[in-house]
Amino acid sequence: RRSIKQAIIDECIHYYHGFRLLFIDINVSTKLVWKVLKGYSLTRREHKLLVRTVGDLFRLVPFSVFIIVPFLEFTLPFFIKFFPGMLPSTFETATEKEDKLKRSLKVKLEMAKFLQRTLDDMAVTGKGHSSEAAKEFAQFFEKVRTSGHMTTSDEIMKFSKLFEDEITLDSLPRPQLMALCRVLEMNPIGTTNFLRFQLRLKLRSLAADDMMIHLEGVDSLSQSELQAACRARGMRALGVSEERLKAQLNQWLDLSLVKKVPPSLLLLSQAFMLPETTPTEEKLAATIQALPDAVGTATKAVIGEREGKVDYKTKIEIIKEEVAMIKEERMEEPQKRAEEEALVDTAPTLMDKAKTLDPAFRAAVEEMKHTAAPEKLATDEVTTKDIEALESALDNLGKCQKKLIVEKEELQELREEMKEYQEDVADLQKLMMEVGKEMNVKETKAAQRLFKKVNNMISKIDTVLHEVEKKEAGIDESGAKAPISGEKTAEPAAASKTGDEKLRIDDLISTIRKLHSKEDTSRLERIKEILSKMDADRDGSVRVDVVLKMLDLVGHENVKLSKKQVDELISLIDKEEVLVQE
């Protein structure tokens, strides 16, 4: 038991780090918000850091929810006017009044989505500041990595499940990311950000595949399917009996689904190329020993947050690590652009030397360039610009058809996220009643206030959405058509059944041509090919919610996707939809 003097010292240190964290959060979040206001898009890591720092601000100063959220709502018109770069350049409407209304609706939706993510990220609160579980994990991690002491199998299995895939991938250095790519037979070339992106998609796909195999049963798979499943998980597949393949796959499913060992750890253990006779526990111990310090620090913080005991010093270390990683990613981008420019610039030099060639030969070369070459040289990779073009076409086509399809889908998704959060809080309260005083964990005051504010925002957005729909339909303010159900929250505007809205592929392609008059043919072909793959029933139309899901998966990533990766991405969306239905 601590003495009174020690308790006072510990409290002073805790609040000292709390004030340090507050100023660091304000500094980091201000820089990121300023970047958004200037029209630059945030990377996935920057977006996550902004969510984390704003969540910390709300937690450290709970009453700030009453100041920050209303301030953002009040100043939105000024931000839109003085910082037009916040919205895409294609976001234009017929009249100035409608333009302001739709811009306001778009920004309010984005702000509500951001605050909802912040709400999800905010930790619960509990009595005390020190988590015993986090301390035990830190001791285990230190013992495995540095002291060389052997741990028991039970300890390894107990703590292995705490290493989340997201944290592990975000913290792994480039050599280990490349090793993972090789295990999965993926391209290990590209920026570190790209390697993380393709690994994240692969792990998500494996998680969905695990669930589907579990539902169907390993025995239902043919030998070729068993080999493909084992290869996809970095396990030996050729020259192995069918019984051995089933045993390998069953062991993987047991570890990932029953014992909850993250796939990232299982795959990293395959990268060490240890003998097949090595016990799983020893493989996992060797893997944990090779993990960087950042993984242990981030995992320790997550464990503490689950118990409502936030260690401010650990959070400061995490934020500093994230800022350093963001700087590294920024340094990689100019190098990548320089390499691409160098590859492009070599072509004109070669052609300049060919001016003295025979005219007939030059004509043949030009014909080859415009026929066969585009298919090979015009890049089959899907770029961020392709995604942006598709996103702007989706928005614009909805407006042209007098429908706010995208806004309705996003608002419905936001409602579902809030409903899930409410269910999680209800489950927590139910668990507390069952456990009693042993579990002193509850929702923070800041989270309660933010939940109410986000719900109010959703209600206001719904009202604006209904108003815009009325104007689009040519209905005057006197109310020639009465609101459905007559609720104050304007439920009818977004409560109509979503997920069934479809848009024709040809209409989307035509819209891209109109928005981008100088759009190259190869880009249009790439986008059309992607949309065709999403057309499950081959009727020439795509579901809006499926397109939005794909845009959400790729949206914050500055990456280029090959045809194979696009196919895997669409396959992942299909698998997850099947699992949701079942």
Q: What pLDDT score does 366 carry?
A: 56
User: Is residue 22 located within the same domain as residue 156?
Assistant: no
SS3 label, residue 539:
coil
3-state secondary structure 456-498: HHHHHHHHHHHHHHHHHCCCCCCCCCCCCCCCCCCHHHHHCCC
What amino acid occupies position 255?
L
Long-range contacts of 225-232 (CB under 8 A, 24+ apart): 231/185, 232/184, 232/206
399 in Cβ contact with 93 (< 8 Å): yes
Domain count, the chain: 4
For 2, residues 6+ apart whose C-beta sits below 8 A from its C-beta are 10
Q: How many whole angstroms separate alpha carbon 220 and alpha carbon 496?
A: 40
What integer is the mean pLDDT of 482-486? 38
User: Is residue 141 located within the same domain as residue 44?
Assistant: no
Q: What pLDDT score does 313 carry?
A: 85
User: Is residue 172 located within the same domain as residue 270?
Assistant: yes
Position 450 in a domain:
yes
504 forms beta bridges with: 541
Name the nearest CA neighbour of 290 among 190, 171, 187, 186. 171
SS3 label, residue 543:
strand
Write down the pTM of the prediction. 0.72
**CB atoms closer than 10 angstroms to residue 109:** 20
What integer is the mean pLDDT of 431-441? 63
Q: What pLDDT score does 339 carry?
A: 58
542 forms beta bridges with: 503
Name the nearest CA neighbour of 568 among 134, 201, 32, 55. 201
Place of tokens 């759009």: 519
Band the pLDDT of 347: cuts 50, 70, 90. Answer: very low
Position 110 in a domain:
no
User: Is residue 220 located within the same domain as residue 302?
Assistant: yes
What pLDDT, in 10s, does the model give residues 6-42?
878 877 887 788 888 888 888 888 888 888 877 777 8
User: Is residue 163 located within the same domain as residue 236?
Assistant: yes
Torsion of CA 53, 54, 56, 62, to 10 degrees: 160
Q: Give whole-number Cα distances, 149 to 118, 146, 195, 289, 467, in Å.
A: 40, 8, 33, 11, 67
Band the pLDDT of 374: cuts 50, 70, 90. Answer: very low
Query: Is the pLDDT at 262 greater than 70, yes or no?
Result: yes
Residue 75 phi/psi, 5-degree rounding, is -90, 0
Q: Where are the alpha helices (DSSP H) in 233-276?
A: 242-253, 263-271
User: Is residue 305 located within the same domain as residue 169?
Assistant: yes
504 in Cβ contact with 538 (< 8 Å): no
Q: How many whole angstroms separate alpha carbon 533 and alpha carbon 538?
A: 9
Query: Is the pLDDT at 246 greater than 60, yes or no?
Result: yes
Q: How many whole angstroms separate alpha carbon 304 and alpha carbon 209?
A: 31
Query: Is the pLDDT at 184 greater than 80, yes or no?
Result: yes
Number of H helices and E strands in the chain, helices first, is 25, 4
What pLDDT, in 10s, does the model give residues 493-520?
443 444 567 888 888 888 888 877 665 7
Query: Is the pLDDT at 489 greater than 80, yes or no?
Result: no
Q: How many whole angstroms separate alpha carbon 108 and alpha carbon 126?
A: 33
DSSP 86: G
Residue 352 phi/psi, 5-degree rounding, is -65, -35
Tell me the residue length of the chain.
Answer: 582
User: Is residue 450 located within the same domain as residue 547?
Assistant: no
User: Is residue 388 located within the same domain as residue 466?
Assistant: yes
Structural domain for 405, as ranges: 383-472
Q: How many whole angstroms separate alpha carbon 159 and alpha carbon 137?
A: 7
Position 52 in a domain:
yes
Q: How many whole angstroms separate alpha carbon 170 and alpha carbon 134?
A: 20
Please give the sequence-ordered ranges of beta strands (E in DSSP) within 439-571, or none if there are none.
441-442, 502-504, 541-543
Position 343 in a domain:
no
Query: Is the pLDDT at 83 greater than 80, yes or no?
Result: no
Q: Give whole-number Cα distances, 372 to 197, 215, 375, in Å.
A: 32, 46, 6
User: Is residue 137 located within the same domain as residue 249?
Assistant: yes
pLDDT, averaged across the chain: 77
Task: Identify the top-confidence range among 253-257, 281-285, 518-522, 544-548.
Answer: 253-257
Torsional class of 190: left (φ above 0), alpha (ψ -120 to 50), beta (otherwise): left
Name the nearest CA neighbour of 102 among 89, 111, 91, 112. 91
What integer is the mean pLDDT of 563-578? 85
Band the pLDDT of 252: cuts 50, 70, 90. Answer: very high
Helix axes 132-142, 293-306, angle to 10 degrees: 160
Query: Is the pLDDT at 233 greater than 60, yes or no?
Result: yes
For 552, residues 6+ apart whose C-beta sits below 8 A from its C-beta are none
Q: What pLDDT score does 249 carry?
A: 92
212 in Cβ contact with 571 (< 8 Å): no
93-70-488 Cα angle (round to 5): 70
Query: Is the pLDDT at 66 greater than 60, yes or no?
Result: yes
Position 512 in a domain:
no
DSSP 237: -
Residue 543 phi/psi, 5-degree rounding, is -75, 135
Q: Where are the alpha helices (DSSP H) in 38-82?
A: 44-60, 64-82
What amino acid occupies position 427?
D
Band the pLDDT of 209: cuts 50, 70, 90. Answer: very high
Position 51 in a domain:
yes
Band the pLDDT of 46: cuts 50, 70, 90. Answer: confident
User: Is residue 316 located within the same domain as residue 389?
Assistant: no
User: Is residue 68 located within the same domain as residue 153?
Assistant: no
Q: What pLDDT score does 270 carry?
A: 83
Q: What pLDDT score does 129 carry?
A: 63
531 in Cβ contact with 508 (< 8 Å): yes
User: Is residue 276 located within the same domain as residue 162?
Assistant: yes
Position 99 in a domain:
no
Tokens of 552: 């959400």
Q: How many whole angstroms separate alpha carbon 130 and alpha carbon 110?
A: 36
Position 194 in a domain:
yes
Tokens of 252: 């993987």
Query: Is the pLDDT at 543 greater than 70, yes or no?
Result: yes
Q: What pLDDT score does 514 carry?
A: 80
543 forms beta bridges with: 502
What pLDDT, in 10s, does the model give residues 129-147?
667 888 888 888 888 877 6
